[in-house]
Amino acid sequence: MPTLDATACADLIEALTAVAARATEAIRQAAGNAGLRQKDDGSPVTAADEAAEAVIRDGLSRLTPSVPIISEEQAAREKPHPVRGHGSYFLVDPLDGTREFISGRDEYTVNIAIVTDGRPVLGIITAPATGTVWRGIVGRGAERLALTDGKASPVAIHTRRCSSEQLVVMVSRSHLEERTKTYLERFPRAKLLQCGSSLKFARLAEGAADLYARLAPTHDWDIAAGHAILVAAGGCVTAPDGSPIAYGGADLLIPAFLAWGQSKEPKA
């Protein structure tokens, strides 16, 4: 597989943002035609998920035809091969937060990431409901874009310092389970904010929150873009024991993770 470093990612980021913007428009156009059904794993999928994925896969294939693409809906149809080892590939979640989308909430996103040598190095998150984009390249910073009439005005974003006594914690609106609840009991004074999709990573990256914990399995494509943006903004994403997250496994599953808005967990 070809290898995309930070310089190559910087050369691609504007074109990738344009691909994400086109997927955003595809979701908006498909919003009135839900086409709701259930996948084999019981999770919902809509016509908007599939329209956005088609736009993204076409755009990425035209932009970098030699770079492999792993996307959520494609993976549901045909099991992708493990991608451990050297080289780069795209991880795509064309509509993250499908349950929120179906419910009429604004908390759904388009996620595009580049993973190189097993670690996310570039991430783009677009919120179709608000026309906002967060993007970052590890080692080169992160920024937020307000899309208006096709023009973007970038604003640099950074995480904030925090202490365990004043935590703002992002929690999943649809997937908050018992192990995560038990872990969060370590921070009895924390303020909990519910949110759907990868917007939780965006809130950490722009300094509006401090922690996002998930101690249950999630797929690689659910967190790769947010992981890259958060690290680019000054945060970290690790396994609960502090070890690096392993991307590219046979099932493309992350068993659990902690995302902090600083380079390591604050002292109690």
pLDDT digit string (tens) for 62-121? 999 999 999 988 887 776 655 656 799 999 999 998 888 888 889 999 999 999 999 999
Residues 210, 119 contacting (CB under 8 angstroms): no
Q: Which two tokens stand for residue 62?
A: 């035209």
Residues in the chain: 268
Which CATH class, in words, describes the domain spanning 168-260? alpha beta
Helix (H) / strand (E) containing 30 = helix 6-30
To the nearest whole number, what is the mean pLDDT of the chain? 89
Residue type, 12: L
Percentage of the chain beyond pLDDT 70 is: 88
Q: Which residues pair with 44 in a beta bridge?
A: 38
Query: Which residue ranges make up each domain of the chain?
Result: 6-157, 168-260
Q: Which residues pair with 169 in a beta bridge?
A: 192, 211
Comparing 180 with 163, the larger pLDDT belongs to: 180
Helix (H, G, I), strand (E, B) or coil at 171: strand
**Mean pLDDT of the region 207-222:** 95
Q: Give the whole-angstrom CA distance, residue 5 versus residue 139.
A: 11
**C-alpha separations of 34 from 8, 162, 178, 227, 254 in Å:** 37, 41, 31, 29, 29
Name the nearest CA neighbour of 246 among 227, 266, 262, 265.
227
For residue 71, the 8-state DSSP code is E
For residue 31, the 8-state DSSP code is T
Comparing 9 with 33, the larger pLDDT belongs to: 9
What's the CATH fold of domain 6-157?
Fructose-1,6-Bisphosphatase; Chain A, domain 1 (3.30.540)
Q: Give the whole-angstrom CA distance, residue 218 versus residue 197.
A: 12
Name the nearest CA neighbour of 47 among 57, 39, 36.
36
Q: What is the pLDDT of residues 50-74, one digit of tens each?
A: 999 999 999 999 999 999 999 988 8
Helix (H, G, I), strand (E, B) or coil at 193: strand
The pLDDT assigned to 267 comes to 60
